[in-house]
């Protein structure tokens, strides 16, 4: 039986990537696409990379338009998707809803007020199947929760890179998380499709530009939240994203002080937790993660090494911000919620050169 899907925000980068993946899904058919200012347009005029859906006409994003599907993916700006999701829930719609915005990610209203503002929405099930939970007994991943939900909060792209880089060390108690530093090289598509002067090619090409410096980036509380789930106590995070002149990709470099007596052998053992993860590859010493091999995929490349002289762990993670960072995570999590094989339509083969 083929399931039906609607994608809201289909004219944007995240929406377009969701469509690219879903059009290859053997069990899901995209029947509805919506947006705001582009309503009435032919999808092929805005997302020509998805020719099978070219003749779909973009509709207004309303409860009536989105209702009645098996899967609804919300690729809307922060602060808008909660209203849409709440309206669908109030109407009794039992679709699986995957929200690619931040509206349902955070557990603390204060964090939302500090970093986003506006009304706080309740947290939905977090859409990172590989997120480690540390409590009583052995660490476990997030998959079981996603298999028992119909409401999914897809993680932030920077959050995914930092979390996957550091969480095995946190779960094993190898680092002091009170002095964590994350510096990320980020492709321009992470800023969205809306035209802004600093995103013009004339400004971006040949330029490397930091942004949201000094603890102001909205992904900080989400990263802290994840590290606490993975077993951290107090988390002090210095987070600096830097735009680099590439369209896609994130390379996160995360540095944290080692706890007493930790060596490379202990680090390698801790990162063995990823040995069963189909989408996470831990690279060997000297083979550092880079973004090119994961472009267009739902994969992540991770490496962690001991800086003996500095007494720190250096953990790296490379992902495609639109792949594992957004759309692939949405599809992977939705598969679990729909009872489908987890990796269906999640691409693992990159594009080179």
Question: 197: which 2 tokens?
Answer: 């002067």
C-alpha torsion 24→26→28→34, nearest 10: 20
Q: How far apart are CA 75 and CA 151, in angstroms?
A: 14
- Category of 296 on φ-ψ map: left (φ > 0), alpha (ψ -120 to 50) or beta: left
What H or E segment, with its residue span, contains residue 306? strand 300-307
CB atoms closer than 10 angstroms to residue 257:
17
Q: Are 60 and 8 in contact (CB under 8 A)?
A: no
CB atoms closer than 10 angstroms to residue 12:
23
Active site residue 157: yes
Q: Are 231 and 259 in contact (CB under 8 A)?
A: no
Q: Are 54 and 33 in contact (CB under 8 A)?
A: no
Secondary structure letter of residue 29 according to DSSP: E
Would you call 53 helix, strand, or coil by DSSP? helix
Planar angle of CA 339, 130, 320, nearest 5 degrees:
100
Strand partners, 316: 253, 303
Q: Are 318 and 187 in contact (CB under 8 A)?
A: no
Place of tokens 């997030």: 142
Secondary structure letter of residue 177 according to DSSP: G
Active site residues: 157
């Amino acid at each position: 039986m083929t399931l039906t899907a609607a994608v809201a925000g289909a004219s944007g980068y995240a929406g377009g990537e969701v469509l690219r993946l879903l059009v290859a899904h053997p069990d899901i058919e995209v029947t509805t696409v919506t947006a705001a200012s582009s309503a009435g347009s032919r999808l092929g005029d805005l997302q020509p990379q998805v020719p099978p859906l070219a003749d779909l006409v973009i509709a207004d994003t309303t409860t009536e338009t989105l209702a009645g599907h098996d899967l609804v993916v919300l690729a809307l700006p922060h602060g808008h998707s909660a209203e849409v999701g709440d309206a669908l829930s109030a109407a009794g719609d039992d679709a699986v809803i995957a929200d690619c915005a931040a509206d349902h990610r955070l557990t603390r209203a204060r964090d939302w007020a500090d970093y986003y503002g506006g009304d706080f929405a309740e947290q939905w099930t977090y859409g990172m199947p590989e997120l480690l939970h540390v409590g009583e007994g052995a660490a476990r991943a997030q998959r079981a929760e996603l298999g028992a939900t119909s409401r999914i909060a897809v993680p932030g792209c920077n959050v995914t890179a930092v979390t996957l880089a550091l969480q095995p060390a946190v779960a094993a108690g190898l680092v002091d998380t009170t002095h964590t530093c994350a510096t990320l090289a980020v492709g321009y598509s992470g800023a969205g499709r809306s035209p802004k002067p600093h995103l013009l090619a004339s400004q971006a090409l040949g330029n490397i530009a930091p942004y949201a410096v000094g603890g102001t980036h909205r992904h900080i509380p989400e990263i802290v939240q994840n590290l606490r789930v993975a077993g951290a106590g107090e988390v002090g995070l210095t987070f600096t994203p830097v735009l680099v002149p590439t369209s896609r990709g994130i390379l996160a470099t995360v540095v944290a002080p080692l706890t007493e007596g930790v060596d490379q052998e202990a680090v390698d053992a801790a990162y063995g937790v990823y040995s069963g993860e189909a989408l996470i590859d831990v690279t060997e010493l000297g083979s550092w993660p880079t973004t090119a091999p994961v472009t267009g995929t739902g994969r992540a490349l991770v490496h962690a090494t001991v800086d003996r002289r500095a007494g720190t762990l250096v953990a790296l993670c490379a992902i495609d911000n639109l792949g594992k960072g957004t759309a692939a995570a949405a599809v992977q999590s939705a598969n679990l919620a729909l009872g489908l094989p987890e990796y269906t339509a999640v691409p693992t083969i990159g594009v080179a050169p």
